[in-house]
Amino acid sequence: MRKSLDIELLNFRKDLDIRQENDIQFIFDPVRKKKIVLQPEELVRQLFIQFLLQFKKYPLNFMRVEKGLVVNKLQKRADIIVYSRLMRPFLIIECKAFNVPIQEETFRQLSRYNISLSAPYLVVTNGLEHYCSQVDLKSEHYIFKSEIPNYPDLGQI
């Protein structure tokens, strides 16, 4: 396995809007613009969104969360898809809970999602470990990157 990227997602916890209602914790999702029941994977998803928004300066309006897609005739959901300004998939992120180890199967799952999307970058994260790869769509090879790419300029993708 490659070396995990140096990203401290927990530094973005202060930016999350978490509220208790009765005995249930909710978190506000700025992409879906609604409150969501706070589950462990959702916490990682929301922390990663804050990282993309604040640190990488990705535009909120070009992100989709739990976007439905069809893979081998099965309905699936991608955790986060970032689109270019031309509305082409640019980055797909698969989020796991903090206690779920990142394994080869996680990469395979994301690669299957990318068959229909053809995004040039894939990220897997469990909130503690983060891996980014660039996909050569012609040769289907993956090149692990040392950082998350910057959001593309209009002419890049």
> pLDDT digits over 98-125, tens only?
999 999 888 888 888 888 899 999 999 9
Say which residues have a Cβ less than 8 Å from residue 111's Cβ, sequence separation at least 6.
Answer: 122, 142
> pLDDT digits over 61-72, tens only?
999 998 877 777
Domain segments of the chain: what residues? 9-145
Q: How many other β-carbons are positioned within 10 Å of the β-carbon of residue 135?
A: 19
Question: Fold for domain 9-145?
Answer: tt1808, chain A (3.90.1570)
> Would the pLDDT of 77 be above 80?
yes
Say which residues have a Cβ less than 8 Å from residue 72's Cβ, sequence separation at least 6.
Answer: 112
